[in-house]
Amino acid sequence: DVKVTQSSRYLVKRTGEKVFLECVQDMDHENMFWYRQDPGLGLRLIYFSYDVKMKEKGDIPEGYSVSREKKERFSLILESASTNQTSMYLCASSWTGDVYGYTFGSGTRLTVV
């Protein structure tokens, strides 16, 4: 089975801290994605990447950046965490043309205090 692993299940950080959320997939997928999920808003796409060192903005990139130095790893960076970034963060990956769509990780619940 494809596995998408997010490094932390729960994370508590202070306002102003730089936060790194890590995601690793083990099936050589080209594409990787970061979403955040908030009650009543569904999943919203933050950033995605179709290849190493490539990145594209999703619908809500403000306050975030990403890094993809290796194919299997896609990092989401909160440069200066704020309380409105408290959320569930979900990573996903896929092959281009994969008819089964995306495989998701279990999520990281980030609380910024």
Partner 1 sequence: DAKTTQPPSMDCAEGRAANLPCNHSTISGNEYVYWYRQIHSQGPQYIIHGLKNNETNEMASLIITEDRKSSTLILPHATLRDTAVYYCIVYNNNDMRFGAGTRLTVKP
Contact residues for partner 1, defined by CB under 8 A: 4, 33, 35, 40-45, 48, 56, 58-59, 90, 92, 96-97, 99-107
Comparing CB distances to partner 1, the nearer of 3 and 18 is: 3
One-character DSSP codes across the chain? ---EEES-SEEEE-TT--EEEEEEESS--SEEEEEEEETTTEEEEEEEESSTT--EE-S--TTEEEEEEETTEEEEEESS--GGG-EEEEEEEE-TT-TT--EE---EEEEE-
Q: CB of 105: closest distance to partner 1 in angstroms?
A: 5
Q: CB of 44: closest distance to partner 1 in angstroms?
A: 8
Q: CB of 35: closest distance to partner 1 in angstroms?
A: 7
